[in-house]
Amino acid sequence: MGFIVLGAFVIVPFRSEPPIPTVTAGNKEIPTTQGSYCWEGLFSAECVDKVYTSVLDMAKEYQPTVVSPNEEIKMDFKKEPETMVVERWIGNEHKETIEVKNSAIVVPNEEGSYIYHVLGYWKQGDVDYVFMIEVK
């Protein structure tokens, strides 16, 4: 029994998981859903498949956050990705790649609901995230 407890104290601190971003528009935090990922830690590696069937399914996790037209959205990670790709989904199928500058994007001027799919790539692995906004 003592070895099990000791093992947990030794191994758990070295367990590593991908960073979860803090996504904000002004001082408003936007809830973000983490998708499937593969990640390597110091002593472990794992791939986790989430049950979401699509980006749209991931977006249903939270209600959209209301933002102003042309507002900037910041995506802060404790450890910045080496590469980040952001896609904006409009409706069920239409998506476009969005320019990211200094871990930030600018929302459209047009009112409506938009889903953002963020793909982050690090040396340790990759992970995707989704958040939804409503421009009003």
Question: Mind listing the pLDDT tens digit for each residue in 4-52?
Answer: 444 444 444 455 789 999 999 999 999 999 999 999 988 889 999 998 8
Q: Which of 117, 118, 112 is nearest to 56 (CA)?
A: 117
Q: Which helix H or strand E contains 10, and what residues bound it?
A: helix 2-11
CB 55 within 8 Å of CB 43: no
- Read off the DSSP letter of residue 63: P
**Model pLDDT, residue 8:** 43
Q: What is the mean pLDDT of the chain?
A: 88
Q: What is the per-residue pLDDT for 14?
A: 53
Residue showing tokens 């249903």: 60
* pLDDT score of 88: 96
Q: State residue 111's pLDDT score.
A: 95
Tell me the one-letter amino acid at 107. Answer: V
Let me know if 107 is exposed, middle or buried by CB neighbors in 10 A (0-12, 13-18, 19+).
buried
The pLDDT score that the predictor gives to residue 92 is 72
pLDDT, residue 98, reads 95
Answer with the residue of higher pLDDT: 2 or 40: 40
Q: What is the predicted pLDDT for the residue at 9? A: 44
Angstrom distance (rounded) from CA 115 to CA 89: 5
Nearest to 73 by CA among 19, 110, 30, 35: 30
